[in-house]
Copies of this chain bind each other. A is one copy, B any other.
Amino acid sequence: MPIQFIRSSLFASPTNLLRTLFRVTKLRSLAMGSYTASSQSSKLFFRQLFEKESSTYTYLLADVSHPDKPALLIDPVDKTVDRDLSLVKELGLKLIYALNTHVHADHITGTGLIKTKSPGVKSIISKASGSKADILVEPGDKVSFGDLFLEVRATPGHTSGCVTYVTGDGPDQPQPRMAFTGDALLIRGCGRTDFQGGSSLQLYKSVHSQIFTLPKDTLIYPAHDYKGFSVSTVEEEMLYNPRLTKNQETFKGIMENLNLAYPKMMGIAVPANMVCGLQDTTS
């Protein structure tokens, strides 16, 4: 899969252009209040999945209007790969990508197992992560699945290579938009910034410039939640996030005094995740 493919816009291929121009679009652009906690278009299939031990959310997205029903998984976990692949199969989806928002320190990514069990799938992570993967993405890149796409936004600070994947901005893309923020922005919280190239000032700038500038009704889907929240919105976090509503200096002070324990899985998870599971499938 050449890197150009995912860098291309929705309209770059002549076939796509024709399909987009002449298709009777089924998407209704809803005037949604910021309260509504679900995004939809007539073509996006979306499912939120949870791994209880590490409190990790995995997201399954697919373009079900496309004949192939191409699908992708964001932040899959090794322990729940069978569940995820079984669901993909039952729903008749074709998994094409397994993406990570960053190099996780608390669990092992499922991408290695997924590639073993479903060899056509390509792994994706940011170039800035310094990791290995089939495709290394950079800010502004698009990850296309059918006629839908995710936009890559750089949101470093928790790690130096963190990205947020945001559903496309366009008349034929889901409304409201959905931001898969990894550990950059959590619901009423954020990822720690004390290792893996973390920087509280960088995180503050990332969230304010790359996430809080999205439309207020954009749905926030984080990589983790520890309190049982499933989703939030840009507006909610701009109003109620107890850390990121503070000024930059106060935020820095909060992050420097969290006194968190070292993640139990870090010694195992980070080396494994730096190669996105490719140690199992390449030699």
Contact = CB atoms under 8 A, between A and B. Distances in A.
A39 B39 CA distance: 8
Contacts of A240: 90
Interface residues of A, number: 39
B49 A45 contact: no
Interface stretch (A109-117, A204-212, A222-230): A222-230
A219 to B, nearest CB: 10
* Total copies of this chain within the assembly: 2
B50 A231 contact: no
Residue in A31, A32, A36, A42 whose Cβ sees the most chain B Cβ within 10 Å? A36
Interface in A54-93: 55, 58, 62, 64, 80, 83, 87, 90-91
A248 B28 CA distance: 42
A47 B31 CA distance: 19
Given A38-B39, A40-B40, A45-B36, A50 B90 contact: no
B30 A28 contact: yes
Given A28-B28, A227-B83, A45 B51 contact: no
Interface string A186-205: 00000000000000000000
Given A33-B64, A227-B83, A236-B90, A38 B46 contact: yes
A37 interface: yes
B230 A48 contact: yes
A254 interface: no
Contacts of A46: 36-38
A44 interface: yes
Contacts of A52: 52, 55, 228
A47 B48 CA distance: 13
A239 interface: yes
Contact of A64 (B35, B45, B80): B35
A28 B30 CA distance: 8
A228 B51 contact: yes
Interface of A: 26, 28, 30-33, 35-40, 42, 44-52, 55, 58, 62, 64, 80, 83, 87, 90-91, 227-231, 236, 239-240
Nearest 5 pairs between A and B by C-beta? Answer: A38-B38, A50-B228, A35-B45, A35-B64, A48-B230
